[in-house]
Amino acid sequence: MKKITWISALLLIVSIPTFAGGLLTNTNQHVLFLRMLARNASTEIDAVYSNPAGIAFMEKGWHFSANGQSAYQTRKITTTFAPFAMNGGDVTKHYKGEASAPFIPSVYGAYVTDKWSIAGNFAISGGGGKATFNDGLGSFESIVSMVPIIVNTFGNMFPSLAPYEIDRYSVDSYMQGRQYIYGLQLGATYKITDYLSVFAGGRMNYVSNHYKGYLRNIQIGLKSGGPMVNASETFRNLANNVSPALKESVEMLANATEDKELDCSQKGWGITPIIGADFKMGKWNVGVKYEFKTNLNIENNTTINTTGYKDYDHGINTPNDIPSIITVGVSYNPIPEVQLAVGYHHFFDSHAKMANGKEKFTGGGTNEYLGGISWDVTKWLQLSTGMQRTKYGVEDDYQTDMSFAVSSYSMGIGAGFNITPNLQLNIAYFWTKYKTYTKNMDNYNYMSDKLESLGIPASVAQQIKIEGQDKFSRTNKVFGIGVDYRF
């Protein structure tokens, strides 16, 4: 007989992005992005990532950059599910997760000559933070909230259980996830003509994830009154006083309502091939970059797994491909002191394998549209701002309270200070306004299927379909500071 999976399998692929970009890709890897956003036609040091072919049009010599960012995000989920009323009286519960990455470093280096240039960088290329849900999530509690309904359903089937009708429950729930993808990029640029350059290189990605979660102290209260009691102990004692036809199911409930805990780390690595081209003439510059799909699996290093779900076991591999991406940028200088820029990103999400086949529900992939302006106010001061529109193609079956993507608008603003002719200090602030995504379900959290896995007869379990709703939203803000130096 199967045990109920209190901590969902999706915990292993919880998405905790605190940066801009696609489902698994960070695009804000330099403070100049935070300042202006549309950097896909850059010919400054951040071009090492955003437009690597554009390096050919930088000043000859050495270029270095060091950046630090602090990112903070809240993830807000509002879940409405009728059985929640048995825990406090309200059918709607609010779950808030706080994700933070207090310090995200990135470093860049480039050496530019007449024809050949080499460049590299190190940054957090995906993930980038830690999210904590101190009260767990609705998908956790929804299964616990069905315990009274399960017992009461059995009570209708077996009169001997009628005195054990339940109308209350409580649970202690917690989830924390940390997700980082470290990226080390290296490549070479060749200047074919005075107007055209090309790039070839790659990025080594190293994944480091860690997830902890639990459901503890599940308690129930009898409709006849009296104090709350431990569910597992109560069912285990009850199993000794019921008919043989019911004993196995009651024992299963006793096992299912025991404390469940997970402590799992994941590691993995993969290579991203990258190519690019840049065309520069007069006041115009056009940059194009294509990053190939990164084939990547992550392996579990599990120290605790009492969830009953084998995919958490030590040594199990899970697909975690990084989608391919194409970026295009155009910049124009109407006067020497002013630069206007636009950009476009497309992430081929459906081509990247994900755990449980979630790539099938990513629609046409992710599209981003960017625009920005930069103004050299004086010889020592530069101001810039920009906007980004991110549109995800994900469908309802992709969205869960542990891994959801919400379309958004982002704004950035910042300044550059020329401390010396060769040294620039950059500061920026970046924030995102997210839409609210509403997911309505006739059978919340596929509950009838989960009840069937508990051993409830299919004829009964499939009748217990309860409507529910999840509303997903976020807030996000990032502050960055960095220095660029050339000689």
Contact call for residues 63 and 478 (beta carbons, < 8 A): no
57 vs 171: CA distance, rounded Å: 61
Contact call for residues 173 and 435 (beta carbons, < 8 A): no
Output b/e per residue, 187-211; b: 16+ Cβ within 10 A: bebebeeeeebbbebbbbbebbbbb
Region 105-117 average pLDDT: 97
Contact call for residues 393 and 348 (beta carbons, < 8 A): no
Contact call for residues 250 and 239 (beta carbons, < 8 A): yes
CB under 8 Å to 183, separation ≥6 — which residues?
121, 122, 123, 124, 125, 126, 203, 204, 205, 206, 272
The secondary element (H helix, E strand) that includes residue 36 is helix 31-36
pLDDT score, position 279: 98
Closest CA to 242 of 169, 166, 163, 168: 163
Asked if pLDDT for residue 3 goes beyond 80, the answer is no
Confidence of residue 446 (pLDDT cuts 50, 70, 90): confident
DSSP string, 138-192: HHHHHHHHTHHHHHHHHHHH-GGGGGG-EEEEEEEEEEEEEEEEEEEEEEEEEE-
What is the per-residue pLDDT across 402-417, written as a single tens digit (0 to 9) for each? Answer: 788 899 999 999 999 9
Strand-strand pairing, 116-133 and 166-191: antiparallel
Q: Whole-prediction pTM value? A: 0.89
9-486 CATH choice from 3.40.640.10, 3.40.190.10, 2.40.160.60, 2.60.40.10: 2.40.160.60
pLDDT score, position 13: 39
What is the per-residue pLDDT across 386-401, written as a single tens digit (0 to 9) for each? Answer: 999 999 999 999 998 8
Distances (CA, A) of 227 to 160, 163, 220, 221, 266: 21, 15, 9, 6, 42
Region 360-384 average pLDDT: 95
pLDDT score, position 299: 94
**Domain ranges, ordered by start, for the chain:** 9-486
Confidence of residue 456 (pLDDT cuts 50, 70, 90): low
The secondary element (H helix, E strand) that includes residue 396 is none
Q: Which one has a higher pLDDT value, 450 or 316?
A: 316
75 vs 13: CA distance, rounded Å: 16
What is the per-residue pLDDT across 42-63, written as a single tens digit (0 to 9) for each? Answer: 999 999 999 999 999 999 999 9
319 vs 374: CA distance, rounded Å: 41
Distances (CA, A) of 141 to 96, 237, 327, 444: 14, 24, 41, 12
414 vs 396: CA distance, rounded Å: 37
Output b/e per residue, 67-83; b: 16+ Cβ within 10 A: bebebbbbbbbbbbbeb
Q: How many CB atoms lie within 10 A of CB 419?
A: 12
Percent of the chain whose pLDDT exceeds 70: 93
Q: How many CB atoms lie within 10 A of CB 453?
A: 16
387 vs 369: CA distance, rounded Å: 8
Distances (CA, A) of 126 to 26, 121, 259, 336: 5, 14, 33, 35
Average pLDDT, the chain: 89
Confidence of residue 6 (pLDDT cuts 50, 70, 90): very low
Query: What's the CA angle centered on 233, arms 231 and 236, to 5 degrees?
Result: 105
Q: Which one has a higher pLDDT value, 457 or 205?
A: 205
**Structure tokens of 466?**
């309860």
pLDDT score, position 421: 94
What is the per-residue pLDDT across 205-249, written as a single tens digit (0 to 9) for each? Answer: 999 999 898 999 999 998 878 889 999 999 998 888 888 878 887
405 vs 15: CA distance, rounded Å: 9
Query: What's the CA angle centered on 322, arms 318 and 325, to 5 degrees?
Result: 160
